[in-house]
Amino acid sequence: MGAGLGTEGVGRNMRAVVQRVSEASVEVAGERVAGIGAGLLALVAVGQEDAEEDAVKLARKIVGMRIFGDAEGRMNHSLLEVGGSLAVVSQFTLLGDCRNGRRPFFGAAAAPERARPLLERVVDEARRLGCDVVTGRFQAEMRVTLVNEGPVTLLLDTRDAF
């Protein structure tokens, strides 16, 4: 465990940065591997002790958030209600702890063999709920391009820390 880190909740903290977009795409080695029009881009990190219920909770939260405008411009509609798409991109660096020193500590992030199935579970649950979902390429060096609408950017954590 990194210096200065407490033990409460370490490793059980699936996180996402969710951005409302008019478009987003993912490239790997110059090849476009995914793209969406209007919808959400979710950068997702899996913690060491995260479980299937965390993946399901996160997926439901992402697709159910009321962050799209209604006729009066209020955030009253979910991704499902507006028929938008979802792009899910794995990003373990969201679990980087930057409280000590100048180099992030990634000890809370799950190993790839643990993270991949839970990330896939997020995708599967979002699809089960009715979303059109595309993904980046797990463990690849990716170039993510997006046009943030609003801008609207939200942080989600399965421990409801924020």
SS3 35: strand
The active-site residue, picked from 19, 68, 91, 105, is 91
Q: Residues, the chain, total? A: 162
Q: How many CA atoms lie within 13 A of 29 on its CB side?
A: 3
- DSSP summary character for residue 3: T
Q: What's the Cα-to-Cα distance from 40 to each of 23, 34, 114, 146, 161, rounded to whole Å?
A: 9, 13, 25, 10, 21
Q: Cis peptide before 151, with omega less than 30 degrees from 0? A: yes
Q: Is 92 a catalytic residue?
A: yes
The active-site residue, picked from 93, 138, 139, 153, is 93
The active-site residue, picked from 19, 92, 105, 158, is 92
Q: Is 48 a catalytic residue?
A: no
Q: Is 91 a catalytic residue?
A: yes
Using alpha carbons only, what angle is made at residue 82 by residues 118 and 73, rounded to the nearest 5 degrees?
Answer: 120
Residues assigned a catalytic role: 91-93
